[in-house]
Chain A
């Protein structure tokens, strides 16, 4: 049971380039999330998904797109990278339930630098 995995671990992009970050979970969780972490800012929600084929915007969605074609995978895309997107990106997942309580499990992160 690997939990939540992310690829790649590190990436350097030039301004204007595109890339896709992959998140995979083997816990059969319905919910998946993408956060970014910047120094002194905590974690901020970019996009999330409540199930296969569904996605929604979070707090800071501009410049990003996502897809959830398979339940276990959640992809984060940058179509035209900008220096402001230099950050550490974390994927998380959580299971369903009847309450609003959702324990979230995080991946190891992807460190992205845009020059």
Chain B
């Protein structure tokens, strides 16, 4: 089945710097790769996603890149702000019939210090 690995598990950056989180997946048939942000005590919130027919997608300060050949995708946050501090999860959709449920990475705890 699909296996999603996420690195690093923790990341600390200074305000204004960039942050990069990387994920790899195992199922070459996966075609959808969302990123979720989870703030303390809340549910995961979709912040950006990318489909397999696109190599890069950008939305203001966040961007996601996908390398299908290498089976990895990355989240890039530029000009980080303290409110970016949260846990970020990557995910991929497995090929097996599971109602299109997602397989998640184990999360990256991002801390942006002023």
Contact = CB atoms under 8 A, between A and B. Distances in A.
Is the interface on chain A under 10, 10 to 19, 20 to 34, or 35 or more residues? 20 to 34
Contacts of A45: 98, 101-102
Interface in A85-105: 90, 94, 99-105
Q: Which of B9, B43, B93 has the most CB of A within 10 A?
A: B43
Is the interface on chain B under 10, 10 to 19, 20 to 34, or 35 or more residues? 20 to 34
A98 B91 CA distance: 20
Question: At the interface, is chain A mostly helix, strand, loop or mixed?
Answer: strand
A31 B42 contact: no
Contacts, number: 66
Nearest to B93: A100
A41 interface: yes
Q: Which of A31, A101, A108 has the most CB of B within 10 A?
A: A101
Contact of B42 (A99, A100, A109): A109
Nearest to B105: A42
14 contacts: A40-B107, A42-B89, A43-B44, A49-B99, A56-B99, A100-B32, A101-B51, A104-B34, A104-B46, A106-B36, A106-B44, A106-B45, A108-B43, A109-B41
